[in-house]
Amino acid sequence: MTATGRVAVAGAAFDLLTAEELLSLVAEAIKLGQGGTIVTPNIDICHRLRADPASRRFVAAATIVVPDGMPLLWAARLAGMPLAERITGADLIFSLCAASLANGWPVYLVGGLPGKNGRPAVAQLAAARLAERYPGLAVRGCALPERFDPVAGDIETLRKELTDADAKVIFAGLGFPKQEQLIARLAPDLPGTWFVGCGAAIGFAAGDLRRALAWLQRLGLEWAFRLISEPRRLAGRYLSRDLPFAIALLASSLRRRLRLRR
The predicted pLDDT at position 138 comes to 97
Q: What is the average pLDDT value for the chain, to the nearest integer?
A: 90
Coil, strand or helix at 39: strand
pLDDT grade, residue 223 (50/70/90)? confident
Whether residue 1 is contained in a domain is answered as no
The predicted pLDDT at position 216 comes to 81
| In contact, 10 and 43? CB cutoff 8 Å | yes
| Number of domains into which the chain is organized | 1
What distance in Å separates the CA atoms of residue 250 and residue 151, rounded to the nearest whole number?
34
The predicted pLDDT at position 1 comes to 52
The predicted pLDDT at position 218 comes to 83
Whether residue 95 is contained in a domain is answered as yes
* 4, pLDDT greater than 70: no
Rounded to 5°, the CA angle 258-260-262 comes to 75
| Beta-bridge mates of residue 165 | none
Question: What range does the domain containing 232 cover?
Answer: 6-261
| Predicted model pTM | 0.91
Phi, psi of 191 (to 5 degrees): -65, -15
What distance in Å separates the CA atoms of residue 176 and residue 178, rounded to the nearest whole number?
5
Give the closest residue to 142 by CA, choosing from 125, 119, 166.
125
pLDDT tens by residue, 177-219: 999 999 999 999 999 999 999 999 999 999 888 887 788 888 8
- Dihedral angle, C-alpha 70, 73, 74, 79, nearest 10 °: 160
Work out the number of other CB atoms within 10 angstroms of the CB of residue 78: 19
* 260, pLDDT greater than 80: no
**CATH number of the structural domain spanning residue 196:** 3.40.50.10700
pLDDT tens by residue, 89-119: 999 999 999 999 999 999 999 998 777 776 7
The predicted pLDDT at position 3 comes to 54
The predicted pLDDT at position 151 comes to 78
Please give the share of the chain, as a percent, with pLDDT higher than 70.
Answer: 98
Coil, strand or helix at 192: coil
Whether residue 217 is contained in a domain is answered as yes
Find the mean pLDDT for residues 31-49: 96
